[in-house]
Structure 1
Amino acid sequence: MKRIIVALAVAATTVIMTPASAEAGPYPAGYETTVRLYNHTIYRPATIPAGVTVPVVVWGNGACRADGTWFENILTEFASHGFLVIANGRPGGTGSTDADMLTDAIDWAVAENGRVGSKYRGKIDTAKVAVMGQSCGGIEAVEASDDPRVDTSVFWNSGLLSDLENYRLARLRGPVAYFTGGPDDIAYPNAVDDYGRLPGGTAALLAHLPVGHYGTFAQPAGGEYGRVGSAWLKWQLKGDQAARATILGLGNDTQWTVTSTNLG
């Protein structure tokens, strides 16, 4: 499938927007970079309609790799549903990332929402924040989730590597979701173990799709992961009841194996 990319240099921002030919959401979406958050890639609707504010989603890449477009398909899908998605790393970047970069992304979104002259001024719902990550990026997400601004956390094909880190699970804020690639996913036992150690009363989902460690991220719109991830975000950050029904209905979908606690 061909994709048209339009690049436009505007002051300190490079805008690279792509048409939403594959995405399921209502907004054409793509990504951009800015010197104000130099080591990140920002996915957003091409146009944020008047009167609409977009919740914030920050993303840590697998392998803690500083390539902000490695998960382009699924992150563009999330943005197409009306979210500002900020990934660690520049487009095609190299090197490694850390959990502090996720906090930096939240800081930037809050600052831009209030900065005079920012195109995002008044357009970001900074009271609604999700932290996500895949594999090593999921571990970064666990670390960053103790930020009091975080409302929900999602860990893809991920779990803590050492019991010495289990104390971090008590610091998770809001509803939590673990999505794995099933028993063939190298992170499967870690995710199951973490889920079992969550504090009592935590609203949590543990969902397995038999697709292995690399999931469906590279499929158009992120494949099945894109569908359920978007539904989780719309439910948790926008109160979307159809999205809630999608998540709560996963247990009736034969391709998924689901456990949940305190989800209503």
Structure 2
Amino acid sequence: MRPRHLIHRISAAIVALLASTALLAGSASPASAAGTGPYDAEYTTTFRLAEHTIYRPANLPDERLPVVVWGNGACRADGTMFEEFLLEIASHGFLVIANGRPGGSGSTDAGMLTAAIDWAVDENDRWFSPYRGHLDTGSIAVMGQSCGGIEAYEASDDDRVDTTVLWNSGMLSDLDNWRLRRLEAPIAYFTGGEDDIAHENALDDWDRIPSDLPAFLGSLDVGHTGTFGEPNGGEYGRVGALWLKWRLQGDQQAGEAFTGSDCGLCSTDWEVRQRNL
């Protein structure tokens, strides 16, 4: 074979490889960019993590993005079930991976949250990955709403997890209270007040978690479905972004919403409990 033809074939092979890699990386959703943070956010999918939905800044910034994995209410495999809320989180400089494909159906489990963490760690190192070098895989949160919060409890038994966040959630059975005793990362509970069917569960868990664990509990009278469906996730979106900015990005100003007797959420409509913060 002539050298010129050989070079042409090698070049064609490289082009094909790059095209295949781009396809595997996923395609952006038709959803419009959203969020109140410094980055316009979107969601996307990838064949490499086929049963999830990825929320991210539309244009990946130079700053590395901490990773947040999310379990849906009812453990439902619909990655856009909490779209407004998760786009808001992503707009503040996070890569958020939700269980389930956009508009998906069926059920999820805690293993999908761990799989999402594994994928993010691998993608940050993988050649030709659009996320290579863009992720802060040393800063990871597990979060979930209702049944998804139980998934977050289970997935929190991972040395890579830096904070656990439960929304309208708490342990359903005393037989599972052993999961509370093994918690090591700072934890936050956000409930919808006395009308939230999970409120009492969260309060019970609060009394059972390790006494030396950094913990916050905020209750707002919005019921079990919270403010997730409001534009940008409403008050839940604002407070959730603040917690993650503090715990994963080291933003001390954001942390003032949760710390001290004069915290930003204190003396507001939120009812607050604090421990070791």
TM-score (norm 2): 0.89
2:57 is the counterpart of 1:42? no
Percent identical pairs in the alignment equals 63
Letter in 1 for 2:209: L
Q: Which residue of 2 aligns with 1:204?
A: 215
Contact 1:65 1:97 in 2 (8 A): yes
Contact 2:257 2:265 in 1 (8 A): no
Question: For residues 193 and 97 of structure 1, what CA distance do their matches in structure 2 show?
Answer: 25
Give the CA RMSD over aligned residues: 1.3
Letter in 2 for 1:29: A
Q: Which residue of 1 aligns with 2:268?
A: 254
2:20 is the counterpart of 1:14? no
Cα deviation for residue 10 of structure 1 reads 4.6
Letter in 1 for 2:173: S
Q: Which residue of 1 aligns with 2:204?
A: 193
Q: Which residue of 1 aligns with 2:7?
A: none
The partner residue of 1:157 within 155, 162, 168 is 168
Contact 2:71 2:152 in 1 (8 A): yes
Question: For residues 30 and 66 of structure 1, what CA distance do their matches in structure 2 show?
Answer: 19
Question: For residues 30 and 257 of structure 2, what CA distance do their matches in structure 1 show?
Answer: 29
Question: For residues 89 and 97 of structure 1, what CA distance do their matches in structure 2 show?
Answer: 7
Instruction: Name the SS for the 1:63 alignment partner.
Output: helix
Letter in 1 for 2:122: A
Cα deviation for residue 253 of structure 1 reads 3.6
Question: For residues 128 and 30 of structure 2, what CA distance do their matches in structure 1 show?
Answer: 21
Q: Which residue of 1 aligns with 2:14?
A: none
Q: Which has the larger radius of gyration?
A: 2
Q: Which residue of 2 aligns with 1:182?
A: 193
Letter in 1 for 2:103: G
Cα deviation for residue 254 of structure 1 reads 2.3
Query: 125-134 or 249-258, which moves further after superposition?
Result: 249-258
Cα deviation for residue 173 of structure 1 reads 2.7
Contact 2:162 2:186 in 1 (8 A): yes
Instruction: Name the SS for the 1:255 alignment partner.
Output: coil
| Stretches of structure 2 lacking an aligned partner (at least 5 in a row) | 1-20
Instruction: Name the SS for the 1:159 alignment partner.
Output: coil
Question: For residues 73 and 264 of structure 2, what CA distance do their matches in structure 1 show?
Answer: 25
The partner residue of 1:231 within 239, 242, 245 is 242
Instruction: Name the SS for the 2:150 alignment partner.
Output: helix
Cα deviation for residue 174 of structure 1 reads 1.5
TM-score (norm 1): 0.93
Q: Which residue of 2 aligns with 1:6?
A: none
Superposed CA deviations along residues 222-262 of structure 1, whole A, max 9, x for unmatched, are 00000000000000000101211123324424210000100
Superposed CA deviations along residues 142-195 of structure 1, whole A, max 9, x for unmatched, are 000001100000000000111110000122231100000001000001000001
2:152 is the counterpart of 1:141? yes
Letter in 1 for 2:54: I
Question: For residues 42 and 258 of structure 2, what CA distance do their matches in structure 1 show?
Answer: 25
Contact 1:17 1:29 in 2 (8 A): no
Q: How many residue pairs end up in the alignment?
A: 253
The partner residue of 1:115 within 120, 126, 134 is 126
Instruction: Name the SS for the 2:69 alignment partner.
Output: strand
Answer 1 or 2: which has greater strand percent: 1
